[in-house]
Amino acid sequence: MLVTGGAGFIGSHACVELLDHGYEVIVVDDYANSTPHVFARVERIAGRFVGAVYELDLRDRRALSAVFDRHSVDAVMHFAALKSVSGSLEAPVEYYDTNVGGTTALLRTMHEHGVHRLVFSSSGAVYGDAGPGLLDESAPVRPANPYAASKWLCEQILADVCRRRPEYTVLCMRYFNPAGAHPSGLLGEDPHGVPGNLVPYVAQVAVGRRERLHIFGGDYPTPDGTAIRDYIHVMDTVEAHRVALDHLSDGPGMRVFNIGLGQGSSVLDVVAVFSETCGVQVPYDIVPRRPGDVAHVVADASAVTLAWGWRPARNLADICRDAWRFQQLNPRGYAGAGRGPDSKR
Ligand code: UFG
């Protein structure tokens, strides 16, 4: 199994899940928002080694091709991408180039090596500002920022590939807001610099690394005025990916699934549940809206349950508790973490 972006937040948890279930795991990552230190922890949790790790940018097709030459890859989990909404507004070309160009380079390399099975990391962000109510997979797609548009473009490319070439099977996972951490506290979300996402920011305020949370917008058309999202535990997210692998042989073509909890939580809900579950205060200020944000994005995630019998097992309190455990055990994230005696790299 080749995992792109395997050092990242979701990718590293996916590596543990795959190793736990007996898969041979090969990783490529450029460490743009991650660190190789994470693999010692992945291996410690799983009690197994990652097969190989390559530092490369997917757009470097020669280097990527060499990985496919060296290993017998039967399927790919493609997480590698830039994911900040505001970052994408500041640097749209970089976002399209990395996310779309990375995906086309991967597809060309897969094609050259006869690999036709892919689990793609898409996003609930593709739906854009849909208003209240649950979004099923047939809801209109209206990306509200270049990040979301880049994921939608990748989906369209993948759909075209599947239409043209019947040997391809692509499972497109539109996940909503993955957050939380591995229950061991060894793995979690440790972005470079100031976190752009809500839960890691809240955790860094709670641990004293940042002073106050800035809540972007208190004037949304929601019950408490703050924006509503569907937070899904990262462990549930990666379990869904592992279950997806069992369904790569169900038949060719592309299928799209929402991966969410199906419950909306406002920013203030997240702050309240975090404070209550973890017993810490999270001081905050309400500031103007963040450009590119929308009011309400919540999944109707019933299709994946119907198709595969899988449903998430964890809630927002579990997300907060696990994110807090990771933050307390790693107040400075992975910074300074050693590779550990059990890493072979
Ligand atoms: N928010 C704040 N303060 C912060 C950070 C976020 O108020 O410091 C608010 C945002 O304005 C938004 C909500 O918290 O209303 C969630 O924001 P995130 O940045 O955590 O997540 P997004 O909804 O913007 O989603 C993006 C992508 C998803 C991706 C998710 C997690 O659209 O695809 O980040 O990476 F899954």
Task: Give 187-208 pLDDT, tens digit per residue.
Answer: 999 888 899 999 999 999 999 9
User: Is residue 340 a part of any domain in this protein?
Assistant: no
User: Is any atom of ligand 1 closer than 6 Å to the C-beta of 210?
Assistant: no
User: Is residue 40 a part of any domain in this protein?
Assistant: yes
Q: Tell the burial category of 50 from Cβ atoms under 10 Å away from its Cβ (0-12, 13-18, 19+).
A: buried
Tokens of 215: 């809540």
What is the residue whose two structure tokens read 């017998």?
72
**147, 175, 201, 220: the active-site residue:** 147
User: Minimal CA–CA distance to 271: which of 217, 209, 317, 332?
Assistant: 317
Distance 55 CA to ligand 1 centre (A): 28
Number of separate domains in the chain: 1
pLDDT score of 96: 98
Distance 196 CA to ligand 1 centre (A): 7
CATH of the domain at 229: 3.40.50.720
| CB 17 within 8 Å of CB 242 | yes
The pLDDT of 91-106, averaged and rounded, is: 98
pLDDT at 344 over 70: no
Distance 27 CA to ligand 1 centre (A): 26
Predicted confidence band at 342 (pLDDT cuts at 50, 70, 90)?
Answer: very low
User: Is residue 231 a part of any domain in this protein?
Assistant: yes
Tally the residues of the chain: 345
Question: With pLDDT > 90 as the criterion, what percentage of the chain qualifies?
Answer: 91
User: Is residue 341 a part of any domain in this protein?
Assistant: no
Distance (Å, rounded) from C-alpha 103 to C-alpha 24? Answer: 22
Tokens of 209: 């690394």
User: Is residue 334 a part of any domain in this protein?
Assistant: no
Range of the domain at 26: 2-329
| CB 240 within 8 Å of CB 259 | yes
User: Is residue 24 a part of any domain in this protein?
Assistant: yes
Contacts for 135 with CB less than 8 Å, ≥ 6 apart: 124, 127, 258, 297, 298, 299, 300
User: Is any atom of ligand 1 closer than 6 Å to the C-beta of 71?
Assistant: no
User: Is residue 163 a part of any domain in this protein?
Assistant: yes
Question: What are the tens digits of pLDDT across the range 255-313?
Answer: 999 999 999 999 999 999 999 999 999 999 999 999 989 999 999 999 999 999 999 99
Contacts for 235 with CB less than 8 Å, ≥ 6 apart: 13, 17, 180, 182, 183, 314, 322
Which helix (H) or strand (E) covers residue 242, if one does? helix 234-246
Question: With pLDDT > 70 as the criterion, what percentage of the chain qualifies?
Answer: 97
Tokens of 149: 């548009």
Predicted confidence band at 13 (pLDDT cuts at 50, 70, 90)?
Answer: very high
User: Is residue 342 a part of any domain in this protein?
Assistant: no
